[in-house]
């Protein structure tokens, strides 16, 4: 029984392209008592893997938090897998404003202590005593009330590219940081103000609203379904959007446009821009805003130092980052002094530029970061078995298709990186040969060290 991914992100992306089927990006959450999160996790993986569902899901004793991509044709079958559980019957699925077939490229379901890291002791207050849920129309109305204080419970890199007008946008890197900051800041307004909160999909506000009611706030409200659901409702009902800019999302898209307003700047040159990227240097991967001109000039790097690093030989790059903690590579949240135009905390409601609303879907895909990462089409051939350091020879087992002398190959791994070379000659089962088949042991010279976690691919384009 398969309980984990067996394909790389690149292989999955190729399969998605070849299938040519429309995929939906969606999210949902539910607080519930789950007695055995590990079994719950495994059961979900088996059911969802059959439906070609992908995504990042956290489960815990307190419930589930999911962001996913599924084939549109499997939507009803996917709903049926949720209906098996009483606490997910009729659950709201927040569909993305902008779908992307490559929003997720793996199915990752992790068991955690909590589905959102909030730093709260749930035993000290009633987590079910939440604020009043508001739909888009009611949310717009309460924002116009002079007695309303609206708070963004997202992080600095999220609010910088888009937020509700007039919102308090805490300069924080984690949700847990914002709770005591807002509590202290609003101590004198517990009874005379409407405390209105929002986040991406609503899950952070579920816990935050209960916490603030416990802290003595009398009038607590939250945006139902978060920004994602709000965007759907204002479009369907023809309402004014009081959210301005782009909604940051935690998948390969890194954002979905709500209004055409660009309210942030390229962190390197200051040009109006709201496109996030991750530094190309594997030892950095800083998340920052970068315009197309800087992306070309800096080769996706956040600084000249990182630009110099990516042009070093791989062995030197590995040496430089050995022992360094880079954390979650995709969404590293740290700030950098190199980012001269980074803004956090109190943010402007003014639009700096207007995005092109007529951009084609094809062009959107070209601009997506994931497209920059998938540079070659390749087929997995096998895995590394050993590296003979003195002879500089690698040993591989062929598990899929044939390998031929003259093939262009790619050796890939978390430490090795992605290394391409032309296979000039090889030893197959202790004898020189020009073809290796499934089950064969193959050795050939490699000018760099490989690891047992490395995979061997044939480049097919």
pTM for this entry: 0.77
- Measure the CA–CA gap between 299 and 322, rounded to whole angstroms: 23
What pLDDT score was predicted for residue 375?
47
Q: Could you write out the DSSP letters of every residue in 354-411?
A: E--TT--HHHHHHHSHHHHH--S-EEEEEEEEEEETTTTEEEEEE-SS-EETT-EEEE
**Residues linked to residue 91 through DSSP beta bridges, in sequence order:** none
How many angstroms separate the most distant Cα atoms in the chain? 84
Q: Could you write out the DSSP letters of every residue in 224-249?
A: TTHHHHHHHHHHHHTPPP-EEEEE--
What pLDDT score was predicted for residue 330?
52
Select the CATH number that applies to the domain covering 378-459 from these four: 3.40.720.10, 3.90.1150.10, 2.40.30.10, 3.30.360.10.
Answer: 2.40.30.10
Dump pLDDT digits (tens) for 345-355: 888 889 999 98
Burial of 361 (0-12, 13-18, 19+ CB in 10 A): exposed
What pLDDT score was predicted for residue 388?
93
Whether the Cβ atoms of residue 423 and residue 394 lie closer than 8 Å to each other = no
Q: Which residues contact 52 (CB under 8 A, 6 or more apart)?
A: 70, 71, 74
Q: Is the torsion defined by CA of 119, 122, 125, 127 positive or negative?
A: positive
Q: What percent of the chain has pLDDT over 90?
A: 70
Give whole-number Cα distances, 249 to 127, 162, 350, 421, 455, in Å.
Answer: 26, 11, 22, 36, 30
Torsion, CA 151, CA 154, CA 156, CA 162, rounded to 10: -80
Torsion, CA 337, CA 342, CA 347, CA 349, rounded to 10: 170
Q: In this model, does residue 87 exceed pLDDT 80?
A: yes
Q: What is the mean pLDDT of the chain?
A: 90
What pLDDT score was predicted for residue 363?
52
Identify whether 205 is a catalytic site residue. Answer: no
Dump pLDDT digits (tens) for 23-40: 999 999 999 999 999 999
Q: In this model, does residue 358 exceed pLDDT 90?
A: no
What pLDDT score was predicted for residue 338?
86
Mean pLDDT of 51-59: 96
CATH architecture of 9-111: 2-Layer Sandwich (3.30)
Dump pLDDT digits (tens) for 293-340: 999 899 999 999 999 998 887 778 888 887 776 544 555 666 888 899
Nearest to 131 by CA among 200, 211, 187, 62: 211
What pLDDT score was predicted for residue 345?
82
Dump pLDDT digits (tens) for 147-190: 999 999 999 999 999 999 999 999 998 999 999 999 999 999 99
Structure tokens at 293: 């001109």
Q: Which residues contact 343 (CB under 8 A, 6 or more apart)?
A: 160, 264, 265
Q: In this model, does residue 8 exceed pLDDT 80?
A: no
Dump pLDDT digits (tens) for 95-154: 998 888 999 999 999 999 999 999 999 899 998 999 999 999 999 999 999 999 999 999
φ/ψ (deg, to 5) at 133: -80, 135
Q: Name the catalytic one among 199, 205, 301, 306.
A: 199
- Measure the CA–CA gap between 392 and 423, rounded to whole angstroms: 14
Dump pLDDT digits (tens) for 368-388: 544 444 445 677 899 999 999
- Measure the CA–CA gap between 196 and 186, rounded to whole angstroms: 12
φ/ψ (deg, to 5) at 169: -120, 90
Structure tokens at 146: 């002079």
Domain borders along the chain are 9-111, 378-459
């Amino acid at each position: 029984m398969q309980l984990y991914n067996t394909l790389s992100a690149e292989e999955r992306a190729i399969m998605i392209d070849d299938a040519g089927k429309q995929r939906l990006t969606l999210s949902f959450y539910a607080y519930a008592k789950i007695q055995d999160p590990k079994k719950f996790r495994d059961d979900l993986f088996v059911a969802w893997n059959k439906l070609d569902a992908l995504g990042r899901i956290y489960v815990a004793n307190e419930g589930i938090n999911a962001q996913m991509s599924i084939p549109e044709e499997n939507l009803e079958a996917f709903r049926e897998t949720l209906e098996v559980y009483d606490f997910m019957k009729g659950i709201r699925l927040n569909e993305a404003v902008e779908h992307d077939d490559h929003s997720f490229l793996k199915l990752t379901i992790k068991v955690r202590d909590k589905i959102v890291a909030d730093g709260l002791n749930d035993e000290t207050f009633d987590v079910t005593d939440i604020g009043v849920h508001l739909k888009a129309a009611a949310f717009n109305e309460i924002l116009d009330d002079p007695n309303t204080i609206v708070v963004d419970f997202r992080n600095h890199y999220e609010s910088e590219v888009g937020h509700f007008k007039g919102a308090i946008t805490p300069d924080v890197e984690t949700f847990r940081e914002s709770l005591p900051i807002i509590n202290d800041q609003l101590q004198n307004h517990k009874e005379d103000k409407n405390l209105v909160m929002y986040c991406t999909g609503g899950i952070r506000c579920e816990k935050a609203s209960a916490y603030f009611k416990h802290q003595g706030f009398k009038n607590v409200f939250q945006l139902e379904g978060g920004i994602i659901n709000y965007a759907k409702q204002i479009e369907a009902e023809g309402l004014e959007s009081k959210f301005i800019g782009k909604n940051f999302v935690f998948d390969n898209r890194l954002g979905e446009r709500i209004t055409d307003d660009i309210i942030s700047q390229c962190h390197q040159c200051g040009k109006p821009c709201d496109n996030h990227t991750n530094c190309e240097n594997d030892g950095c991967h800083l998340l920052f805003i970068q315009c197309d001109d800087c992306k070309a000039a800096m080769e996706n790097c956040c600084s000249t130092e990182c630009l110099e690093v990516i042009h070093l030989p791989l062995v030197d790059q590995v040496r430089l980052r050995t022992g360094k903690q880079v954390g979650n590579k995709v969404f590293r949240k740290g700030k950098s002094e190199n980012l001269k135009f980074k803004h956090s905390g109190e943010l402007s409601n003014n639009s700096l530029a207007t995005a092109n609303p007529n951009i084609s879907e094809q062009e959107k895909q070209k601009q997506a970061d994931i497209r920059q990462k998938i540079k070659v089409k390749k087929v997995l051939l096998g895995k590394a078995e050993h590296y003979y350091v003195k002879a500089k020879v690698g040993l591989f087992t062929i598990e899929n298709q044939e390998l031929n002398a003259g093939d262009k190959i790619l050796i890939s791994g978390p430490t090795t990186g992605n290394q391409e070379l032309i296979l000039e000659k090889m030893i197959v089962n202790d004898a020189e040969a020009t073809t290796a088949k499934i089950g064969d042991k193959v050795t050939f010279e490699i000018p760099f060290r490989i690891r047992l976690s490395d995979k061997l691919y044939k480049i097919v384009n």
